[in-house]
Amino acid sequence: MPDWKKLVRKRLQGSPRVCRQDVIAELAAHLEETHEHACASGLCETEAIQLALREVGDWHALQAGIARARTEEDFMNHRTKSLWLPALTTFLGASLALMLCQFLGMPPHLLWIHSIGMTFYWPWLASLPIFGAAGAHLSQRAQGALPARLAAGLFPALIMLIVMLLILPICLAIDGVQFLQVASFGLGLINWVALPAFALAIGTVPFLKPEPRRSQ
């Protein structure tokens, strides 16, 4: 049986060395599998090798395609580690903290503005800098860019903003534009978006600074 890795390496001489070892291993495994199937079908060794080699039309184009796919996969993995996992950590922590405040029966501070009431869970707001810092720190450890770290730290407030912006058109379509409804929406933005975002930002900001360059 031929050394497929050696054969593939010889065929790819002079090509770019992006992910070269991974590409060689993957191509060799594919050719070896084709060769084994050909031998099992009754072909002789020489015919089976030639059949396997004909599986690849343009070696360099195939390598470029595999390398491109690997690059896209690495990008997706990096985005997951630097944005989505840290953001979900922040969101989960903030949600559990709010549930804990409600479970322990901590009464919110109720502030009436005319006939509209605003509720402030001060213990919950006080805990948000911790979760903002956790999300931004995890993103920084995963080498996330500044926008990723900022989004990871402020994620709960961003989610609430999106939800409220989706609800507003529905409410306006059902009830029409009313002053009380618009005012309630504005106060809701302050209560559930602006104040949580400010609290989360307290923990997030320290992790937005660029890391000092390491001396070579």
Partner residues linked to 111 by β-bridges: 118
- Residue 83 pLDDT: 92
- Residue 72 pLDDT: 64
pTM attached to this predicted model: 0.64
Cβ-contact 63, 77 below 8 angstroms: no
- Residue 129 pLDDT: 97
Residue 13 φ then ψ, to 5° = -60, 135
Ordered alpha helix ranges (H), the chain: 4-11, 20-40, 45-53, 59-79, 85-103, 122-141, 146-175, 179-189, 195-204
- Residue 101 pLDDT: 87
**Tokens encoding 175:** 């009830």
- Residue 213 pLDDT: 53
Residues in the chain with pLDDT values less than 70: 1, 12-20, 22, 55-75, 111-118, 175-181, 211-216
- 116-120/109-113 β-pairing: antiparallel
DSSP-derived secondary structure letter, 135: H
For 58-71, how does the pLDDT look when each residue is reduced to its tens digit (9 = 90+)? Answer: 666 666 666 666 66
Contacts of 18 (CB under 8 A, 6+ apart): 67, 71
**Residue 168: count of CB within 10 angstroms of its CB:** 15
Nearest Cα to 59, choosing from 6, 22, 14? Answer: 14
∠ CA 78-81-86 to the nearest 5 degrees? 145
